[in-house]
Amino acid sequence: MTQSILIIGAGPGIGQAVAQKFRAQGWRVILAARNPKNLDGLVSELASTGIDAHALVVDATDPAALRAMIAEADRIAGGLSAVHFNAAVVRQQDLFSMSDAEVTDDLAINVAGGLHAIRAAAALFETRGGTILVTGGGLATAPHESYASLGVGKAALRNGVQALVDPLAAKGIRIATVTVSTLVSPGSEEAADVAHRFWQLATDKTAPWEVVYPEPDRSGSALTLIAKLTAKPQYADLLGEELRKLVAPTSAEAGSIDYLVHRDNDDPRIWVLYENWRSRADLDAHFERPYTKALMERFPEILARDMELTFASRARPAR
């Protein structure tokens, strides 16, 4: 029997990568989202790579519609094997600048939508077993005031998943989450890595209920980041100027060991950052600094391609 997965909140990034990963393994893929235009675009993108995916429109804040959609996906698939909740409102805004409606609307998706999806999937799998997957976030355990509604949502869903592991297991249902503690861009290596973690959770019955990505550095050793940035020709010099402006404030950060700016000897469009940090947490905090975020917001205009990141840790001497 061919296995199948329903991805709720499908879109570029994690949703698309999960669809590609599971389809490559022979699974049927059904995508669901509330914006039909975005959904059509994703289906077309997947079709261009040879992936045939069904698409269903649903508003995750409507529990009745969500249950009906899951039932329809189950019919189309001939029996779903897994349901993946990936929907979220990613709002960079503090709690006190949000309107009443924004708070209510965000939590309707980030919390209630996830709980409704889990309830509906559990009801579907109650007599035959299945897997429920949830996209988690590092904000669940490392909150930040600038992502108030998203952090609360991820914390609530993590709490719900952990609480349901044993009760659902008694019914033959597996529930698990990948806590994603980094930025994930469409088509990126990170997106593929996260999708692989979901694949492991769906197929390895011995896997834990939670996988953290990237894996935390438990050795306490420093982290090296090498970032390669390729500017559009007209912005080659401007990019260097903007990167050099970050040297002073970044070097003043408590977790920064080295922050060095280099220019490629053969291609003046290419700039390379060589950074050493005390820990991944310190690097993540750097990405949240206003001056870092201000420059990164300009990358779509300035860069010719996505920034290339290489993470490394100092190798221990051979014994």
Residues 37 and 119 in one domain: yes
Same-domain status, 285 and 238: yes
Domain coverage including residue 57: 4-213
24 and 138 share a domain? yes
* pLDDT (tens digit per residue) in 98-118: 999 999 999 999 999 999 999
Q: Tell me whether residue 86 is in a domain.
A: yes
Query: What pLDDT score does 50 carry?
Result: 82
Of 120-129, 224-233, 308-317, the poorest mean pLDDT is in: 308-317
Q: What are 61's two structure tokens?
A: 């804040």
Confidence bin at 220 (pLDDT 50/70/90): low
Q: Which of 160, 191, 213 is the last residue of a domain?
A: 213
| 173 and 67, same domain (yes or no) | yes
> Residue 149 to residues 100, 210, 271, 284: CA-CA distances in angstroms?
12, 21, 35, 19
Co-location of 279 and 136 in the same domain: no
Q: Same structural domain for residues 175 and 290?
A: no
In a 10 Å sphere around its CB, with 0-12 CB exposed, 13-18 middle and 19+ buried, how is residue 207 labelled? middle
**What is the spatial distance between Cα 21 and Cα 15, in angstroms, rounded to a whole number?**
10
In a domain, residue 318? The reply is: no
The per-residue pLDDT for 73 is 97
Position 205 in a domain: yes
Residues 104 and 32 in one domain: yes
User: Would you say residue 254 has pLDDT above 80?
Assistant: no
Tens-place pLDDT, residues 15-36: 999 999 999 999 999 999 998 8
> Which of 242, 216, 197, 241 shows the shortest CA–CA distance to 313?
216
Residues 272 and 205 in one domain: no
pLDDT band at 60 (very low <50, low <70, confident <90, very high): very high
- The residue among 180, 213, 246 that closes a domain is 213
Least confident of 7-21, 221-235, 247-261: 247-261
pLDDT value for 216? 61
Q: Are residues 200 and 259 in the same domain?
A: no
Task: State the pTM of this model.
Answer: 0.71
Matching residue, tokens 């329809």? 72
Distance CA 163, CA 169 (A): 11
pLDDT, one tens digit per residue, over 135-165 is 999 889 878 888 899 999 999 999 999 999 9
Which among 213, 238, 265 is the end of a domain? 213
The pLDDT confidence band at residue 296, using thresholds 50, 70 and 90, is very high
Predicted confidence at residue 144, as pLDDT, reads 81
| 152 vs 52, higher pLDDT | 152
For residues 81-102, average pLDDT: 95
pLDDT value of position 317: 45
CATH of residue 253: 3.30.70.100
CA geometry: angle 43, 190, 74, nearest 5 deg? 40
Q: Structural domain tally of the chain? A: 2
Report yes or no: 247 and 240 within 8 Å, Cβ to Cβ: no
Asked if the model's pLDDT at residue 315 lies above 80, the reply is: no
Contact 57, 9 (CB under 8 A): no
Examine the domain organization and report whether 30 and 49 are in the same domain: yes
- Residue 319 domain flag: no
Residue 192 has pLDDT above 70, yes or no: yes
Give yes or no: residues 20 and 118 share one domain: yes
